Amino acid sequence: MQGGTCSDIVRPMKTLFYSHDSFIDHAVPEGHPERPDRMRALKRAFADPAFDTLTRHASPVCTEAQLTLAHPQQYVDAIKAAVPADGMQALDGDTWISPGSMEATMRAVGASCDAIDRVLAGEARNAFCAHRPPGHHAERIKPMGFCLFSTAAIAALHAIENKGLSRVAIVDFDVHHGNGTQDVVESDARILYASTHEGGIFPGTGRESETGVGNVFNKPLSHHAGSGEFRAAYDDHILPAIAAFDPELIVISAGFDAHADDPLASVELQEPDFEWITRRLCDLADTHCDGKVVSLLEGGYDLRALSASAAIHVKTLMGAAENG
């Protein structure tokens, strides 16, 4: 707008959606919970006319420089070298790599960084990246828990190192603690990491006593916690910590495996709980950072529950964009 000022610019009221067919090509053994059918289920869910107003982008491949924001070059090279010419290779008991894995995980990181770029540039108010493999268990020098690269941590570091932000909050409501994200950011006061997760299950981290440099806020949930305990954890602990941090951007590690139907945990949430936490985080973003939210898919292993929960999450992001 020629001759205008910042106050003249109105942020477009839309939600970006990222995905790519390559996410299906990350192969895992038969019966593995983090399977290509997760992407097929989401593709069907987001073909519904209710999502026609999403602004869709094919997930781009990230740069190596983006990967090395969170991981040493030696680690990136080791993951590339582990990719088999055919078949599948186990990196540990849970984490597998196949010929399509490197493109998939680099597009997951690339989508996350591109979403950051576009939301910060004012092209949209928020974004959701539907990708696999997930990322929040990948530590700085260790793949684990289905994850190869620490996607949410990379996204936050990209916003700081490449886009000039000073404070980014990562909020992780996956049922498993994001040990990888915490490992990458726990000594970086520019990034707040907050997590609710079921205590006493994989990966065994995420105690309240783990506080980093005052930037880590963990709230373990009990088995069969349900909606009340989950919501109280946010209202009483997580949301006040984020508000005090005053973020310029909120990155969500959106895992839907705390759903009651998920086979890997027992927190027993329902779709309205994911709607509630999404709304609360969007409200917080409206107050502190002009609604800027980038949400990244993590877990969720019952296909119906994943589809329904992701759908209500994105509908809530869309509503926040339209009403912002």
Catalytic residue ranges: 137
Backbone angles phi, psi at 150, to 5 degrees: -85, 80
Nearest CA among 100, 196, 79, 91 for reference residue 146:
91
Nearest CA among 32, 28, 26 for reference residue 263:
32
Q: H or E stretch including 217?
A: strand 216-221
Backbone angles phi, psi at 279, to 5 degrees: -60, -45
Q: In sequence order, which residues have a C-beta less than 8 Å from that of residue 128 and are 6 or more positions away?
A: 15, 16, 17, 18, 254, 295, 296, 297, 310, 313, 314, 317
- DSSP code of 168? E
For CA atoms 259, 174, 152, 33, the dihedral sign is: negative
CA distance 274 to 287: 20
CA distance 139 to 161: 19
DSSP-assigned beta bridge partners for residue 51: none
Backbone angles phi, psi at 133, to 5 degrees: -70, 160
